[in-house]
Structure 1
């Protein structure tokens, strides 16, 4: 490390010497910014600058020059820069729309024009052109190639960014090629020596730039770009050396390399030997120096070296025909698992971390998982997993009358598969874990019962269902009632599905075997009704018919509305009077407190929700009996609390 530090200090000292011994001559507003970089124009109006290499080059020999150019940050700025070959000297240049090229002849200029001058037939976009003899009008014969966008589909190159500007001359083929950011943009075949420079092959080369009313800081650098040749497909695994190479670009010749592998080791040649890293992450750095003594910026490349993963997985119980979830359980000490490759043993493959699949027959299946880290480190795990058959079951249950038990039956349709557990859900919150349960339902209706079974291997069957009916005739013989002596009374029983009826006793009935006979009675009678459904379900109910002499109203003389459930309401009993005209109650001051025309309504001892005091109240009731005769009665009532 001490040796590497000494080398770096030596390189820096050479850099300082080279900075003051530039091979370029600067004119106008041009200034040197760093060892290999120059500002052609400041961010000001009507400025110009040229930078000429003091050494001529021979056009009978090929060259391949790589530069970095920056056209500024003002998107509306101007005017542009140009790479120029000329024979006139090293003190040339001009401001404004000529970009420092205008008027220089003989010459060749590769022009990056960033302002539209209509008098020179400029397009609206920032453009590239190859011109000769100081003529910048694009419609002139001196425009060898026409114009093109500097970058494809980019109208404005004034983006504050550095772009690679490459000029390549093939002397044998007399071919000039211009590339920007690695893309060939223009080419021209021309005998430059004879057609442009009058048979003189020795020319000066350099850059010129200018501004006018619109402004921009415009720069170029003699390219000095460190670049790793780095195969991202190689393995980055513990114990495997990593191979690096140098693909740096430089205007001049690269003379020194400084590699720092971020693990305490360095190297000072273009091609370092394969390097063995311990597992971890490393920032590999490369700095280069060219023959002019200029030192590049530092290139940094992140390298992650992984350990080999330990592949593992778990799986649900394999039941034939069921969707099975497999779960990756792999681990890695350094790095992460990035890729999963499953071979599921049934012909299917998967690349997700936790795949699902279905096995269609009982068998032993070999499942293989290969996991890979981002560095390409792989490991595999294989397991043999048995797939078990699932049982098939059926469910049965009988329809019964309400109150009787239902006998359920579960059948194993796959006797070769042993059943470990049975589970019934009987559709009324009741469950059972026996094969053939019995259950009595508290209410009638249809119940959708469900059954499934679990085999000895742990595989659950599909559900089987049995719909059973609990027959409830919902018999109601009718409410207790009262009637006048010999007044015909239509009995009103209600039932659901009953087809046979038996009233007992049959005394006074028009027919004791129908649902709704007519009764004519002379005394109180308790009737019992028995009904039967076609399924043989029997239900019973009764009603009491009280017989009064009448027709007449029977009204109590007192009541106690205190909420104790006894005698809380004041009501009238209408014997033989089916229709009520009114029933009214007043207090002693003649204020009406209660009114109804209904035989079923009663007074609760309140008025407008306010309990009335203990006192004597007056009532009147009126109605018509079943013969149409009017009956009116009145009296007093005592309210007790």
Structure 2
């Protein structure tokens, strides 16, 4: 069986409705944001909840920033909700890492950041002296972007600064240089627009140019630093060596005498090991080869005009072009012969004080002997550079005639014997 009855339902209270007002949170660690809930409709006696489980009679919630769901229940247990109520945060942190900048490779830079926050942190840490300072010193090897995070309570804010690295210039001091003693050299640097050479003592021009002039007295090394258009300085010096060849000192040999047509072996030497490799004699007359150190000279006749000498200059040259010269005088006589003066004056004036043999074309003087008028030998020598001083046993002899005899072997191997008389004059 079935029956029915019509019932009329009457809504005793209006629908429950929720609105909210939010107060933003600050940077405080302690939550200080607020949600104030207004409920209308329903039966009154409202209870409020921010999680749908725990209800309270107070319609105000102190919360941190975030999104919340709000629930309201009236006295009859009727419920309503308002979802995704946003409590914002006012971030009062201000931070400025300063503008991007350029620095030179190998240099440091002090960053000057500003903030109202009590603490900061930098990242990455590469090349920084202090990652928790507003003014750390940075020394990066390459271009880098640094980030700073400033923290005030629960608030943070980030900024960045880019340090662009200008590569350091490379100093080029130029090729090594060889010079002769007493000659200046010009250095040739490159790699920058400003130059600084060292050390100082041998520069004879400004050291702050690319091509200064130096005049070292001995082999020296010079070092160069440069700066480029950005003011960046080279990280390392470059060096150039100026090799100084010592003063070339040449010895052409002692002045000498020679017989006509007697081959005379000349022999030039350098006395300070400068490294001479080229020789030149001038004039080349009567020399078999003027471009060697030891040519052979053969003279067909003596010089008949003053100063009665053949004079030769020899020049020695090193691979660096350094030169030295010396001279030799050669008297040419008829010979082979042994010449002795017809008189001498042993008075100590330095002129004709000795009776000496002058062997011309004689390769070996066997003896030179002096005798008095009674035939007694009063002087004997084999040294052609030694002569009689006019004394016997240290006693000066008076004016008189003395006999001499000399014998030697000439350059062809023949025996040459000569004798004569010379007058001692007081």
Higher radius of gyration, 1 or 2: 2
**TM-score, normalization by structure 1:** 0.30
**TM-score, normalization by structure 2:** 0.43
